[in-house]
Amino acid sequence: MDRNSTGLVFVLPALIVLAMLIAYPVAYTGLLSVTDRQGEFVGLANFRAVLSARATPQAFWNTIWFVGGSIVFQVILGTATAILLNQSFFGRGIVRSITLIPWVVPGIVAATTWAWMFHTEFGIINYMMTGTGMIPEPIGWLTNGNTVMPVLIAINVWKLFPFVAIMVLAGLQSIPKDLYEAARVDGANFWQEVRFIMIPQVRSVIVAVTLLLVIWGLNSITIIYAITRGGPANRTLITPIQIFRLAFESTQFNQAAALSVIFFAVALVIVIIYIRALASTPGEAK
């Protein structure tokens, strides 16, 4: 045995465990997607059934909206917060800790609390807004087709921007001081420092965090399911919730598996395009 294959023997146990934990569920989902309840092969019937459902395209567009809308604001707000928290000011430690709270609160707790705050009759948001005369009568935040998705995106942004902030802050702190000093000697102001030093230096962090946010966004169920269950009339139904509903509410495990396979393929394409686009960008900080 040469060195290489000896190494392979050593990693074999870990590989077997990984295969059982990752490959088995993936393969089993694939198998479920082409069989019926009795385990008989049915070809693409499950795929046809889920693709012909009216909810499927709607859920797909909702997913794009929800994930895209969330990520844009999470990254912008997170990066801005990181730059702010990187400055030295009185009470910075406390502000840094407070910023983390949304991320630390369990998703289901946050979702339930927000659902109550946005409730038409009992919610504190309508109470305060009607009390101060900002709006004449209560708004159905979660029942109006035009407001429900933006509200859910806002809650999701609130939940995850601290994560972006902390990651970017860590990146900012690894920037050598001499870069700033050199810039100041050249007469750069604060905005120029942000634009030409901070952002380029933490670009790789933002890229990695965004990829994580995409993956999490495509898998997120908790917030929407706990608040609207995908309603009203599927306005906030995203594909992961549709899969969950098919499997655990309708006991259509085979159709759920078929939808998962489709979703997996789409997600894979998105991630590959994203990584390709990055790999081809020149001048990335390594």
Partner 1 sequence: MKFSKLAVMATAMTMLASGVALAGEVVWWTPNFNEARARELVTKFEQANQGIKVKLEITTTDGLPQRVLTALQSGAAPDIIDVQHAWVNGYAQNGLVVAVDDVLKDREDYIPASLDYGTWNSKLWAIPYRIETHAVIYNKGAFRDAGLDPAKPPQTWDELVAAAKTLSKGKVSGFAITGGGEVGNTIFRSLPFIWMNGGDIISADGKKAVVNQPAAVAAVKFYTDFFKNKQSPASTLENDGTANRRLFIAETVAAYQSGQFDVASIRKENPKIDIGVMPIPHPAGKPTAALLGGWSFVIPSSAKNPAEAKKLVAFLAEAPNQGALTDTFPARKSAMSLPRFSDPILTVFKEMLPYGRAVPNNKNWVQITQAYFDGIQRILLGDEDVQKAMDGAAKDIQALLDQK
Q: Which of 56, 147, 204, 234 binds partner 1 (CB under 8 A)?
A: 234
In angstroms, give the least distance from the CB of 217 to partner 1.
23
Written as six digits, the tokens of 45 are: 């019937």
Binding mask 184-223 for partner 1 (x = CB under 8 A): ----------------------------------------
Q: Which residue has the tokens 């390594």?
A: 286
Give burial (CB, 10 Å; 0-12/13-18/19+) of 154.
middle
Q: Is 107 in the site for partner 1 (CB under 8 A)?
A: no
Residues facing residue 197 across a β-bridge: none
Q: Which is nearer to partner 1, 53 or 183 (CB)?
A: 53
* The binder of partner 1 chosen from 79, 156, 220, 252 (CB under 8 A): 252
Give the integer Cα–Cα distance in Å for 223 and 153: 10
Show contacts with partner 1 in window 55-94 (CB under 8 A).
Answer: 55
d(CA 151, CA 118): 9
Per-residue contact string for residues 127-146; x = within reach of partner 1 by CB under 8 A = ----------xx-x-xxxx-
Using left for φ > 0, alpha for ψ between -120 and 50, and beta otherwise, residue 167 falls in alpha
CA distance 259 to 261: 5
C-alpha angle 72/166/22, rounded to 5°?
Answer: 75
Least separation, in Å, of the C-beta of 138 and partner 1? Answer: 6
> Which residues sit at the interface with partner 1, rule CB under 8 A?
36-37, 45, 49, 52-55, 119-122, 137-138, 140, 142-145, 228-229, 231-235, 245-246, 248-253
